[in-house]
A and B are shown apart, each in its own frame.
Chain A
Amino acid sequence: MSDETNLPPKQSPLHAEHLKLGAKMIGFGGWNMPVFYSSILEEHQAVRQRIGIFDISHMGQIRVSGPSAERWLNTLLTNNLERLQTSEGQYTMLLNEQGGVIDDLIVYCRGSNDYFLVVNAAKIEEDFDWMQSHLAGEVALSNLSDHFAALAVQGPGSAELLRQFGDLPSRNQIQEFRIQGIPVLVARTGYTGEDGFELFYPAAAAAVVWNHLLDVGASLGVKPCGLGARDTLRTEVCYPLNGSDLSPTRTPLEAGLGFFVDLEKPEFVGRAPLLAQKRAGLRQRLVAVKSDGKSPPPRAHYGVFVDGAQVGELTSGTQSPSLGIGIGLGYVDVPYTNPGQKVEIDVRGRRFPATVEKKPLYKKRC
């Protein structure tokens, strides 16, 4: 995702802690965040093998409550909220009238008609404005983003670390913990393909929880991790990044996210164009590709070719630290989207062979 605004970048409530740890900072979604502390590769491996802790305070939190909250939210989001029990979360999307993706997010049910939405940093205002302009019924909407610090604690050792503070939620569940006396919402979710948790708590206590987890986790090999590793980890497991793999001109069906769209719901914004697209058939689909051999790392906007003709374009790409080879995601014409399809990726005018693969590209050893 690029920084399109000219506003000065926002700082996380953990900014001073990042500088103390020697983080290299970059702009991301209007924020100044750590890209790495020591090395993207080391941080990536820490998450795959032990535990990594990411500051994700740039992400937004929106509360939706009131007697009409469930019914109303269900007309805006693609997934079906009626399937959600209290303390459960679900991955879902907010679409525009054309069926394109405004944002992908997780909605947690905190009680009857009480929802907690976690949205992408660059989309906080846009999501909130969109929701406000579509308000109907008795709904209270509040943007709590500035009040929350957020951490992602990810990796095979993360359960052992967090177990010390309470009974762990199961996958996609959310629970309230106390860490150093501070109320912390702990959800068993993540963006890395590993077991992991996302923590939401008052921004004023940002450093207390962050430092405590780093201290207590030291013996478990915990490492602070930046957005660089977050990106390589999510690309390996083919989780889309909004602004790169998802956009207002691409639908969830093209992105392969149909599982999170309930077309049986009577109405939600974007439903009609999705049904029409489903009837007409897709022109392109988001696929995962893997380089066949040594090549420069695939990157967003590189062309994808078959028999010398362009059939698509990458939207993400990197050198996979776990697989030791180039990987990417990209939209490709449907006839060339079957796993095993041989393609070529154009890197600065040179073509490198690659293969369409089944998602995810990396599967954790169980």
Chain B
Amino acid sequence: MLVPDDLRYAETHEWIRPEGAIGTVGITDHAQAELTDIVYVELPQIGALLEPRKAAAVVESVKAASDIYSPVSGEVVEINPDLESNPALVNTDPYNMGWLFKLKLLHPEEISSLKTAAEYTAQIAT
């Protein structure tokens, strides 16, 4: 399973890529492999205020609907427009083309409480 070093991870299998005041959020390679066959993604509204560990999006595989949580607090500033026509991007490229939404970080210090790549790798190994 791919776990890029430059990202931070939530225990609930989301990743965040902080770049200045903005963080890009998606689900991990491990999560997409567990779900497989993603056929629908329901994204938050632009402008929505997200709280950590609260449901922010829904990823639906053939089998089930799964809530996706925001790793940190923030305001949604962008959602991935390509997922409407091609939700399988979350399967094929979870860390790049398959990103879900971008947040304006409200409490950037929350990032440091998230797992590092090494810590997340250890979590999914158990």
Contact = CB atoms under 8 A, between A and B. Distances in A.
Interface of A: 24, 35-36, 39-41, 228, 231-232, 294-297, 299, 318-319, 321, 348
6 closest A-B pairs by beta carbon, nearest first, are A319-B39, A40-B62, A41-B37, A296-B40, A40-B37, A39-B36
A39 B65 CA distance: 16
A35 B63 contact: yes
Nearest to A227: B63
B51 interface: no
Contact of A40 (B40, B63, B84): B63
Interface string B20-51: 00000000000000101101101000000000
B39 to A, nearest CB: 4
Given A24-B34, A39-B36, A41-B37, A296 B62 contact: no
A297 B36 contact: no
Contacts of B36: 24, 36, 39-40
B60 A296 contact: yes
Given A41-B62, A228-B63, 6 more contacts: A40-B37, A296-B40, A296-B42, A296-B65, A299-B64, A348-B42
B4 to A, nearest CB: 23
B54 to A, nearest CB: 15
Nearest to A229: B62
Name which of A41, A232, A295, A299 has the most chain B CB atoms within 10 A of its CB: A41
Given A40-B36, A40-B37, A296 B63 contact: no
A299 B62 CA distance: 10
B62 A232 contact: yes
B114 interface: no
A354 to B, nearest CB: 14
A180 to B, nearest CB: 33
B58 interface: yes
Nearest to B36: A39
Contacts of A36: 36
Contacts of A41: 37, 62
B62 A318 contact: yes
Interface in B56-77: 58, 60-65
Nearest to B91: A39
B62 A319 contact: yes
A217 to B, nearest CB: 23
Contacts of A295: 40
Contacts of B60: 296-297, 319
A40 B64 CA distance: 12
A24 B63 CA distance: 13
A228 B40 contact: no
Name which of A39, A40, A295, A319 has the most chain B CB atoms within 10 A of its CB: A319
A319 B39 CA distance: 7
